[in-house]
Amino acid sequence: MTSRRALHFVFKVGDRTKTAEFYRDVLGMQFLRHEEFEEGCKATCNGPYDGKWSKSMVGYGPEDSHFVTELTYNYGIKDYKLGNDFQGITIQSNKAVQNARSKNWPLVPVSDGLYSVEAPGGYKFYLVDQAPPQGDPVQKVTLGVSNLSKSTDYWTKLCGMTLYEQTDKSVLLGYGEGQCKLELKAVGATIDRGTAYGRVAFSCPRDQLAGIESSMKESSQAILTPLVSLDTPGKATVEVVIVADPDAHEICFVGDEAFRELSQVDPKADALLDEGIKADKSDEYFAKHPERKGVAK
């Protein structure tokens, strides 16, 4: 479905300062927008938490044309448990490889011209040591699955993705050439999402949202959030449907028209993030009370 496009992957982060350093100085991305919220998202964008949180979008360019990451920070939660659900994001950028070396950020050779690095929290990125392509350097997001055939059927038949490549261990899917692809990788085990589990988001024309919800319901598939409107203070209201695949990977479909308005680059994003970090007194509190250090349950 060429009218659909890959948008972003959501990470929960416990250290915004170190995380911002990684995305800015190692990957070479820029912060595109930053928002602070006083209470949890009704579509659980920040996970199953009801308190104050923030959202930062970061990438290589505007969300209209680039796949980005959404960093959600729950005040008071400093650590999340990794599972085997998220397997990595692959980026083609020799500049990021050079940045990692110059910053002495651990860079692990995987194969000829391919390296892995870890973002704070343990999230893995794979760096292809080549000049970035025209367009978006983010090549694919890889998710672990327990049953490759079952998952492939779900993503192609119910989510409408095109199958680009297939082996006995993985498939490469997408909504169009030039977009970030989704790779499903058989891990030979039950999928454990830990508490760090994320969410992948795609846009579609607004009038397709009800149909997505209906087809999932008719197929007895999980619907985590039925069609709902989400407000962002001072910005556009978007409509979303959030579903889950056979391994409980969360998938958000959002109405494209309003999302394009919501996701315009904010030139104040860096300043707003830094202001939020500076105003956050959580680190001082936990330094005085290490026994109360926030760990996601």
State the residue for tokens 């105003």. Answer: 279
CATH label, 5-291, candidates 3.30.465.10, 3.40.50.1370, 3.10.180.10, 3.40.1710.10 = 3.10.180.10
pLDDT of residue 266: 95
Q: How far is CA 263 from CA 42, 55, 137, 249, 259, in A?
A: 19, 12, 19, 23, 6
For residue 239, give both structure tokens: 């409509």
SS3 label, residue 17: helix
The DSSP-derived string for 248-268 is --EEEEEEHHHHHHHT---TT
pLDDT of residue 229: 87
SS3 label, residue 168: coil
- Among residues 57, 53, 56, 59, the alpha carbon closest in space to that of 73 is found at 53
State the residue for tokens 């350097």. Answer: 137
pLDDT of residue 297: 56
**Residue ranges covered by each domain of the chain:** 5-291
- Among residues 84, 189, 192, 71, the alpha carbon closest in space to that of 142 is found at 84
State the residue for tokens 């996701």. Answer: 263
Contact call for residues 143 and 197 (beta carbons, < 8 A): no
Contact call for residues 16 and 273 (beta carbons, < 8 A): yes
Dihedral sign computed on CA atoms, order 195, 248, 65, 179: positive
Burial class (CB in 10 A: 0-12, 13-18, 19+), 52: middle
Can you give the pTM of this predicted structure?
0.94
- Residues of the chain with pLDDT below 70 are 1-2, 283, 285-297
The DSSP-derived string for 195-221 is TT--EEEEEE-GGGHHHHHHHHHHTT-
pLDDT of residue 142: 98
- Name, in order, each residue with C-beta under 8 angstroms of 29's C-beta and a sequence gap of 6 or more: 23, 58, 59, 60, 68, 69
Q: How far apart are CA 111 and CA 122, in angstroms?
A: 20
pLDDT of residue 42: 82
Q: How far apart are CA 24 and CA 60, in angstroms?
A: 10
The DSSP-derived string for 75-97 is TT--B----SSEEEEEEE-HHHH
Contact call for residues 198 and 224 (beta carbons, < 8 A): no
